[in-house]
């Protein structure tokens, strides 16, 4: 997964509206059953080729809600975001 939405998500819908590849679903469609929005790993491209930064994170009003996570093989990614930042707890924007 390129980015992940944490449990501090307020379910405002901003990220869904901004995702250029429709990789985000709301809490009622979260396949993990969690009460938060979900990013499909096989669809997320970190907005490479679409925006200068992940659009979901820049649209999110909740600081630290969207974090860097591991990249799915074959998916585009931001090359300057190393494994040390892709632990699932480093905010895309803090």
Average pLDDT over residues 51-66: 95
**Between β-strands 66-68 and 38-39, what pairing exists: parallel, antiparallel or unpaired?**
unpaired
Give counts: helices (H), strands (E), the chain.
Answer: 2, 5
The answer to the question of residue 75 being in a domain is no
What confidence tier does 34 reach under pLDDT thresholds 50, 70, 90?
A: confident
DSSP letter for 62, please.
S
Residue 61 placed within a domain: yes
In this prediction, residue 16 carries a pLDDT of 96
Q: Is the pLDDT of residue 57 over 90?
A: yes
CATH of the domain at 54: 3.30.70.20
Cα–Cα dist 24/82, whole Å: 23
Say whether pLDDT at 59 is over 90: yes
Residue 80 falls inside a structural domain: no
Domain range for 47 is: 2-69
pLDDT, one tens digit per residue, over 60-88 is: 999 999 999 999 999 999 999 999 999 99
């Amino acid at each position: 997964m390129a980015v992940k939405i944490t449990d501090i998500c307020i379910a405002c819908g901003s990220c869904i509206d901004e995702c250029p590849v429709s990789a985000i679903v709301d809490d009622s469609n979260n396949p993990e059953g969690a009460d938060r929005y979900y990013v499909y790993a096989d669809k997320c491209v970190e907005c490479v080729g679409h925006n200068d930064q992940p659009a979901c994170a820049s649209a999110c009003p909740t600081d630290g809600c969207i974090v860097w996570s591991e990249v799915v093989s074959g998916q585009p990614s931001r090359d300057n975001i190393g494994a040390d930042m892709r632990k699932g707890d480093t905010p895309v924007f803090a």
